[in-house]
Amino acid sequence: MSKKIVFLIMALTLLLGLIIPVSALSNEQHTAIQSLLEDARRISGAPGISVSILIEDEVFFFSSGYANRAGAIQVDETTLFELASLSKAFTGLGVLLLEQQGFLSLDDSIVEYLPWFTLQYRGRPIDMQYVTLNHFLHHTSGIVNSRHTDVVSPGSTPDMLQKTVESTNNAELAFQPGTRFEYGTVNYDILGLVIEVVLGQSFEDFMEEQVFRPLGLNQTFANRNRAKETGQLAQGYRLSFFITMPHDL
């Protein structure tokens, strides 16, 4: 997301805070918000944008553009968007829920759940007893995007988490665990696999049954194929040389 669209979303938030009454949106407010959304889509180059606003117990939906440009399918309040790395927040919530339920502790060593998993630093094996779930949760494990994203296995079969973590096994770390922070996607693949090991259940089923549904997120899925089955999943796009092109995560 570009800085310009972030600025416009911030502007929308400020606009709402300043002008929305307690009960509902006036026609003028509705028009102003829709206009702001159109500007955000135009300036950012995003094919489609959807926003929901909750006021008291009333929900308002605003949409602009296309869920799929090739099919001229417009975005509406039922459109599903891929969350990409925003899904890490839900994975983290799932881990904290399991800690609350007594299934694990963030201070537990990774060897308690993945005893075969090893890492190294400067060519020497790390003592994995001191690498905890906390290190992966807080991106302090030494697994970073600049070195380790190539190991993420493509595909949609049930063993993708297992394959990705196995591909990371014995990886060379960017720094000693716990010495600093650097963002790394694979940290959360490892946590996802820990969830599967602890519960003997797929990560997708756990997230949908114990995280999404209790929160009332009935049209949120951890499995892309399930989202596609609804017929509401938006085509993904990414920016390339100032042009948005179709892209699947």
Instruction: Please write the tens of the pLDDT for every residue from 230-246.
Output: 999 999 888 777 778 88
Q: Class for domain 85-214, per CATH?
A: alpha beta
**Run of H or E including 240:** strand 237-240
Query: What mean pLDDT do residues 164-181 have?
Result: 95
- For the chain, the average pLDDT equals 88
Beta-carbon neighbour count of residue 102 at 10 Å? 7
CA–CA dist 61, 77 (Å, integer): 6
CA–CA dist 51, 64 (Å, integer): 9
Tokens 């720094």 found at: 175
CA–CA dist 56, 43 (Å, integer): 31
pLDDT at 17: 52
pLDDT at 249: 62
Q: Are 104 and 198 in contact (CB under 8 A)?
A: yes
Stated pTM of the model: 0.81
The amino acid present at 136, given as its one-letter code, is F
Q: Are 165 and 131 in contact (CB under 8 A)?
A: no
Angle, in degrees to the nearest 10, between helices 87-100 and 186-199: 40
Instruction: List the strands of the sheet with 171-172, edge to edge.
Output: 124-125, 119-121, 171-172
User: How many residues in total does the chain contain?
Assistant: 249
Percent of the chain with pLDDT over 70: 90
pLDDT at 9 over 70: no
List Cβ neighbours of 86 (8 Å cut-off, separation of 6 or more): none
Query: What mean pLDDT do residues 68-75 have?
Result: 90
pLDDT at 22 over 50: no
pLDDT at 168: 94
Start-end of CATH 3.40.710.10 domains in the chain: 85-214
